């Protein structure tokens, strides 16, 4: 248990004592419940061993033993069981890795005990604990807000509604929600299995074997060939009743037909995905969802925020431009404003660093939110009486002369973040009940320009996206000119920009066209960001979204692939498919290329399986029509499968090259290769087989079989 810096929201709150904590834990009032995050070892063994396909192969092997063909039976068992062992090993390794990741990424709780804040594991929370919630923190148990703090909470994960819910003393908070803005204490009234989140997600968070689009297509292939095998088995059974074939020959043919079912395809996919996940982990890209590797290969549009991705999020106050007051007075006002804010952010921290001030007791406070794009504090003291507002110039609706407007425009064109500081004389202009409305009659006091340093790898990273064939769109809450200037500095080739206010005036068709044609979006609200992602997806794009703040949660959930920064909020890491360890933005292009390479390798593997399986199927039909024989023995079929398909599938994904795939299903994209290859190989095999029949005794080919590849 580690100490956390004290936040003075409610000095009268002390929290539980260590003795009270132990007493609650002994009474069974702790939060130490766990949700299943993966399969047990027993499940892994059962799901890999006891499958319908494996049952068929082992049944045929038993028949072979009874017929005295032990060599054939052992070979089949070795080939099939070897693949099963590889698959089991890979899945156990993945389970252990995911269990470790779940432990490391588990959110921490900040609890108040004996008047001191401590960072503890959520399992250490007990009934009656007082917890601290700050922007980006997850509400971990059900409870009630206490003290003087206020916050806005995103309850969309529970209700599906994106509106932020204000919380203050006496209001209820629910586990599974996130604090978006503000800071407050809440007391734990329900813990463990009694919380809302546990009841809602106990089943949802348990491991589910969800299939990726690629696996769905491959399952379709397996089902089709399973039907073909059943049809051929039926014909073999009829031939046993209507002809003089021995039981040994019938079993031999049944075993060869069973080999037509490409059961090894799923094993090949599992190995390829596992290889990709290991390689990406070495590049500080943590795969949190099984299908994220496949999603990486499909991405053609990448949406990202400027702050924290293109820039380092190290904000510095560069310039202060006073309006109607002296610079000294403006800096004093700014210092008091930043020091008195209970819900700080990067901007207020930069102001506090450059302009030291005194902490005053606010009469009311409106914390900053991405939707409003402004924050405000009301003071009722003689020297600071009134409401002070800090926000985007176009949002504050104050009258500025031409010189000041040009100053704002020039700062934005240089890539600086420009905000306006304004004042209203009425301290009652904002209240807790009506905190979403700007005070009337605002008077501008000054313009502030902040710099945000570009990441050193930003230029190289954007070039890497272009090489991978991925279109980049920058979506930010900052001024469009500021975002465009930074995008140009980072090397973005096309910088067509549009603002959130322009988008708000568009109908659905115009909005969709703007989403497709523009690369830079400024002054965007979280709801507009989510709508942009959804619109791009509806247009047929495969969209990845990078986010780091809690305001990005909505858009991350809309994207095909959600990517979060390690230093981002717990909320974004919680919904992300991929987490960039060490905020390694520069490793993303390599990750996209790796995903493309893996998927292209799997496509080549599928080509091998299809060509071999269709070729053997056609050869069986062809020899039945042309001759009265069967082209393969069981052990020959097993060797062909091992050498012709088994070994290559281990190497092909490593040799494959990256590249964007056509926008159609993988099966359709492979027909131009599979059909001519299969027909050519089948014809050549049949001609060679007929030559063997004509050059030897009529039973030679039937007894020895013929190897096809």
DSSP 381-436: STTT-EEEEEE-HHHHT----HHHHHHHHHHHHTT-EEEEEEEES-TTS--STTTT
Mean pLDDT of 393-404: 83
Q: Which are the contacts of 692, defined by CB distance < 8 A and separation ≥ 6?
A: 700, 701, 706
Burial 622-648 (b: 16+ CB within 10 A, else e): bbeeebebbbbbbbbbbebbbebbbee
Highest mean pLDDT of the ranges 364-373, 453-462, 519-528 = 519-528
Worst-scoring range by mean pLDDT, 86-100, 521-535, 570-584?
Answer: 86-100
Longest CA pairwise span in the chain (Å) = 115
CATH code linked to domain 313-454: 3.40.1110.10
Kindly indicate the confidence band of residue 380, based on its pLDDT and cuts at 50, 70 and 90: confident
**Domain 1-209: which topology?**
2.70.150
Rounded to the nearest integer, the mean pLDDT of the chain is 77
Kindly indicate the confidence band of residue 326, based on its pLDDT and cuts at 50, 70 and 90: very high
Please state, in angstroms and rounded to a whole number, the distance separating the CA atoms of residues 547 and 574.
12
Please state, in angstroms and rounded to a whole number, the distance separating the CA atoms of residues 331 and 357.
9
* Count of beta carbons in the 10 Å neighbourhood of residue 603: 20
Mean pLDDT of 70-88: 70
Does residue 18 contact residue 135 with C-beta atoms inside 8 Å?
no
Torsion sign (Cα): 348, 352, 354, 358: positive
Answer whether 1-209 and 313-454 agree in fold: no
How large is the angle between the packed helices 213-242 and 588-626, nearest 10 degrees? 10
**The two three-digit tokens of residue 196, written as one number:** 């809302």
Write down the pTM of the prediction: 0.62
Does residue 183 contact residue 135 with C-beta atoms inside 8 Å?
yes
pLDDT over 90 at 373, yes or no: no
Kindly indicate the confidence band of residue 267, based on its pLDDT and cuts at 50, 70 and 90: low
Kindly indicate the confidence band of residue 642, based on its pLDDT and cuts at 50, 70 and 90: low
Q: Does domain 288-310+455-588 have CATH number 3.90.1150.10?
A: no
Cα–Cα–Cα angle for 184, 190, 195, rounded to 5 degrees: 100
Torsion sign (Cα): 418, 423, 427, 433: negative
Q: Which of 356, 360, 365, 367 lies closest to 383 in space, CA to CA?
A: 360
Q: List the chain domain ranges.
A: 1-209, 215-283+589-709, 288-310+455-588, 313-454
SS3 category, 301:
strand
Q: Which residues pair with residue 545 across a beta bridge?
A: 303, 562
Please state, in angstroms and rounded to a whole number, the distance separating the CA atoms of residues 534 and 605.
33
List, for residues 216-264, the tens digit of each pLDDT value: 777 777 778 778 878 887 887 887 777 667 777 777 777 777 767 676 6
Residue 444 has φ and ψ, to the nearest 5°, of: -70, 135
According to the 3-state scheme, what is the secondary structure of 91-103?
HHHHHHHHHHHHH
Does residue 564 contact residue 547 with C-beta atoms inside 8 Å?
yes
How large is the angle between the packed helices 264-282 and 588-626, nearest 10 degrees? 170
């Amino acid at each position: 248990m580690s100490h956390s810096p004290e936040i003075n929201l409610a000095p009268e709150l002390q929290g539980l004592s260590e003795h009270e904590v132990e007493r609650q834990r002994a009474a069974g009032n702790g939060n130490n419940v766990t949700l299943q995050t993966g399969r047990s070892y027993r499940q892994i063994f059962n799901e890999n061993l006891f499958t319908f396909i494996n049952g068929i192969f082992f049944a045929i092997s038993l028949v072979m033993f009874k017929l005295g063909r032990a060599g054939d039976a052992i070979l089949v068992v070795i080939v099939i069981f070897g693949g099963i062992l590889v698959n089991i090993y890979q899945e156990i390794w993945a389970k252990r890795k995911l269990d470790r990741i779940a432990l490391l990424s588990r959110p921490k709780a900040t609890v108040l005990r004996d008047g001191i804040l401590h960072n503890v594991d959520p399992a250490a929370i007990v009934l009656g604990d007082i917890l601290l919630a700050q922007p980006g923190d997850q509400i971990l148990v059900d409870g009630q807000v206490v003290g003087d703090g206020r916050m806005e909470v995103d309850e969309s994960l529970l209700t599906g509604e994106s509106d932020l819910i204000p919380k203050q003393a006496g209001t209820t908070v629910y586990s599974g929600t996130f604090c978006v803005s503000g800071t407050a204490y809440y007391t734990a009234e329900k813990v463990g299995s009694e919380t809302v989140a546990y009841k809602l997600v106990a089943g949802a968070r348990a491991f589910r074997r969800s299939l990726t689009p690629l696996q769905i297509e491959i399952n379709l292939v397996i089902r089709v060939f399973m039907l073909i095998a059943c049809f051929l088995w039926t014909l073999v059974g009829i031939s046993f009743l209507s002809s003089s074939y021995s039981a040994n020959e019938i079993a031999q043919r049944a075993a060869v037909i069973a080999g037509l079912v490409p059961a090894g395809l799923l094993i090949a996919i599992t190995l390829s995905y596992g290889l990709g996940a290991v390689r990406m982990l070495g590049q500080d890209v943590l795969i949190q969802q099984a299908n994220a590797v496949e999603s990486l290969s499909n991405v053609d549009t990448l949406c990202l925020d400027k702050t924290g991705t293109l820039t380092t999020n190290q904000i510095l106050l560069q310039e202060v431009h006073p309006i109607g007051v002296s610079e000294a007075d403006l800096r004093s006002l700014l210092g008091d404003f930043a020091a008195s804010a209970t819900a700080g952010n990067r901007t207020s921290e930069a102001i506090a660093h450059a302009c030291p001030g005194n902490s005053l007791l606010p009469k009311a406070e409106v914390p900053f939110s991405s939707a409003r794009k402004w924050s405000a504090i009301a003071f009722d003291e003689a020297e600071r009486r009134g409401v002070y507002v800090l926000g985007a110039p176009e949002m504050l609706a104050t009258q500025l002369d031409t010189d000041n407007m040009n100053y704002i425009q020039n700062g934005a064109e240089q890539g600086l973040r420009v905000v306006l500081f304004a004042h209203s004389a009425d301290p009652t202009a904002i209240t807790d009940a009506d905190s979403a409305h700007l005070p009337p009659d605002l008077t501008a006091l000054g313009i502030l320009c902040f710099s945000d340093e570009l990441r050193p790898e930003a230029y190289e990273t954007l070039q890497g996206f272009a090489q991978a064939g991925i279109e980049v769109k920058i979506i930010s809450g900052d001024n469009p000119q500021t975002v465009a200037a930074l995008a140009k500095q980072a090397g973005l080739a096309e910088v067509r920009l549009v603002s959130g206010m322009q988008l708000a005036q568009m109908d659905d068709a115009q909005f969709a066209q703007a989403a497709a044609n523009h690369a830079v979006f400024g002054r965007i609200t979280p709801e507009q960001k989510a709508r942009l992602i959804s619109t791009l997806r509806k247009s047929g794009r495969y969209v990845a979204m990078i986010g780091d703040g809690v305001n990005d949660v909505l858009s991350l959930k809309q994207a095909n692939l959600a990517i979060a920064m390690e230093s981002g909020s717990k909320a974004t890491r919680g919904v992300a498919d991929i987490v960039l360890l060490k905020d390694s933005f520069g490793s993303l292009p390599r990750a996209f290329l790796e995903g493309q390479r893996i998927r292209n390798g799997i496509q080549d593997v599928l080509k091998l399986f299809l060509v071999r399986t269709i070729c053997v199927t056609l050869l069986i039909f062809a020899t039945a029509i042309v001759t009265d024989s069967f082209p393969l023995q069981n052990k020959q079929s097993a060797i062909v499968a091992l050498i012709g398909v088994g070994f290559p599938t281990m190497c092909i994904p490593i040799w494959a090259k990256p590249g964007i795939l056509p926008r159609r299903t993988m099966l359709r994209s492979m027909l131009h290769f599979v059909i001519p290859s299969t027909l050519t190989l089948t014809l050549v095999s049949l001609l060679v087989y007929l030559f063997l029949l004509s050059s030897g005794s009529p039973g030679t080919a039937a007894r020895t079989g013929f190897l096809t590849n």
